[in-house]
């Protein structure tokens, strides 16, 4: 059932019908006290719609209380006039979406999205007692190594295995996850900035862009300059909340040691370090490994992945391991089918599950992610000798 608050609103019957069209009964009440009473009698209620006649200040205060006391419940706000200030205040207050009065189709879509997001919030019936998940960061300091391809395909493999997965595009300036999956983001990681310091599953759920059931994405900003607005601390807070919402969080990164990347590495229990069989890439991998040693990241977190492993460039795996002074854990072959699949917006593991590249990615997931038990404490607590955060940034 959905609770719809509509004091003195002539259009209430039509709005109630639009909300009810997504399924379930709509309980119409005439004020916020009545909403409170309705929620008290329905502990599993996950959707409240506040009509245009509800005072904005009272609506935001109510949404803030709901977010604190019932994180699984979503609040949709209907307004006659929507401006940037209203949207910002609503997001900070815990409102999931703001819809224009009279837009019944938009309201129905917003309600549907809210109910889908509620299923991801820990503690709901759909959640099933979810435990903290794994964070995997895919990283390489050499551009063009295939980080986004590996990250997206790993996320799909985990989703196909029945896990709940979030793919985070942390390449804030030039992220390609959205275009690789042909997604049209309504919200991106920059929208998390307004929640900094008070991020919770309800707010973070509003940032998700679904690909298919079981796989959601937090996408990189699409507006030039927005990348500079995202502080590293907000990324750490975001990953912490996502870890509580999903079985796996896969993080795609830019090709450099930024503060945001260091935060992701801190949050991760697995680092997929990607390289290709060419001298510049191998040199960068060696420097990356030295940097991770300097920052005291445990070596057992690392998985060195050789992409385009069968390229005829005169370097054998033995040569590569001698250069980087560490074993190559996984190998992914090269294939023209990979960019062709990306151009179609379907990762190759979904498009051609028996392809050699798909088999290699699935082998990676089975060896290092699927079935691996996650320790109860956070990854940063399992590190050995730690440099202070300032020292880590200066080292980068």
Mean pLDDT of 158-164: 93
pLDDT interval class at 9 (50, 70, 90): low
Q: Please report whether residue 36 resides in a domain.
A: yes
Which residue's entry shows tokens 């590293």?
Answer: 232
Q: Pick from 273, 268, 269: which is nearest to 303 by CA?
A: 273
Mean pLDDT of 99-123: 79
Domain that holds residue 69: 2-118
Please compute Rg for the chain using Cα positions. 23
pLDDT interval class at 379 (50, 70, 90): very low
Averaged pLDDT of the chain = 83
**Domain match, 238 and 350 both:** yes
| pLDDT tens sequence across 294-308 | 888 888 899 999 998
Mean pLDDT of 287-295: 91
**Domain match, 27 and 176 both:** no
| pLDDT tens sequence across 41-98 | 676 778 899 988 898 889 888 888 887 777 778 899 999 888 888 888 887 778 888 9
- The answer to whether 136 touches 249, Cβ cutoff 8 Å, is yes
| pLDDT tens sequence across 233-260 | 999 999 999 998 999 999 999 999 999 9
**What is the model's pTM?**
0.67
Q: Can you give the CATH number for the domain in which 219 is found?
A: 3.40.50.300
**Domain match, 103 and 144 both:** no
| pLDDT tens sequence across 117-155 | 776 665 444 444 456 789 999 999 988 899 999 999 999
Q: Please report whether residue 123 resides in a domain.
A: no
**Domain match, 154 and 89 both:** no
Alpha carbons 189 and 243: distance in angstroms, whole number: 16
**Domain match, 159 and 253 both:** yes
Q: Pick from 125, 215, 113: which is nearest to 161 by CA?
A: 215
The pLDDT > 70 percentage for the chain reads 85
- pLDDT attached to residue 359: 95
Q: How many other CB atoms sit within 10 Å of the CB of residue 65?
A: 15
């Amino acid at each position: 059932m959905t609770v719809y608050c509509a004091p003195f609103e002539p259009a209430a019957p039509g709005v109630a019908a639009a909300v009810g069209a997504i399924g379930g009964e709509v309980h119409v009440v005439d004020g916020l006290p009545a909403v409170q009473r309705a929620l008290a009698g329905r502990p599993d209620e996950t959707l409240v719609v506040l009509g245009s006649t509800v005072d904005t200040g009272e609506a935001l205060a109510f949404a803030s209380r709901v977010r604190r006391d019932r994180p699984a419940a979503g609040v949709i706000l209907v307004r006659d006039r929507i401006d940037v200030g209203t949207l910002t205040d609503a997001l900070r207050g815990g409102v999931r979406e703001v819809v224009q009065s009279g837009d019944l189709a938009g309201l129905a879509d917003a309600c549907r999205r809210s109910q889908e997001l509620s299923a991801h919030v820990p503690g709901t019936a759909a959640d099933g007692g979810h435990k903290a998940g794994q964070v995997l960061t895919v990283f390489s300091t050499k551009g063009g190594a295939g980080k986004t391809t590996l990250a997206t395909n790993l996320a799909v493999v985990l989703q196909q295995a029945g896990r709940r997965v979030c793919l985070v595009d942390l390449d804030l300036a030039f992220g390609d996850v959205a275009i690789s999956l042909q997604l049209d983001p309504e919200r991106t990681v920059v929208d998390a900035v307004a929640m900094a310091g008070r991020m919770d599953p309800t707010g973070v759920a509003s940032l998700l862009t679904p690909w298919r059931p079981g796989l959601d994405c937090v996408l990189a900003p699409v507006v030039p300059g927005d990348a500079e607005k995202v502080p590293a601390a907000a990324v750490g807070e975001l990953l912490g909340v996502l870890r509580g919402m999903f079985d796996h969080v896969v993080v795609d990164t830019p090709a450099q040691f930024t503060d945001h990347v260091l935060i992701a590495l801190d949050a991760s229990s697995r680092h997929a370090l990607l390289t290709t069989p060419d001298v510049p890439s191998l040199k960068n991998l060696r420097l990356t490994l030295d940097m991770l040693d300097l920052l005291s990241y445990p070596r057992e977190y690392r998985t060195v992945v050789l992409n385009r492993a069968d390229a005829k460039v005169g370097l054998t795996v033995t040569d590569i391991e001698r250069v980087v002074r560490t074993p190559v854990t996984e190998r992914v072959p090269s294939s023209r089918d990979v960019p062709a699949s990306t151009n179609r917006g379907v990762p190759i593991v979904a498009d051609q599950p028996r392809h050699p590249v798909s088999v290699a990615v699935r082998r990676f997931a089975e060896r290092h992610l699927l079935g691996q038990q996650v320790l109860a404490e956070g990854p940063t607590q399992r590190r050995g000798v730690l440099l202070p955060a300032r020292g880590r940034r200066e080292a980068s």
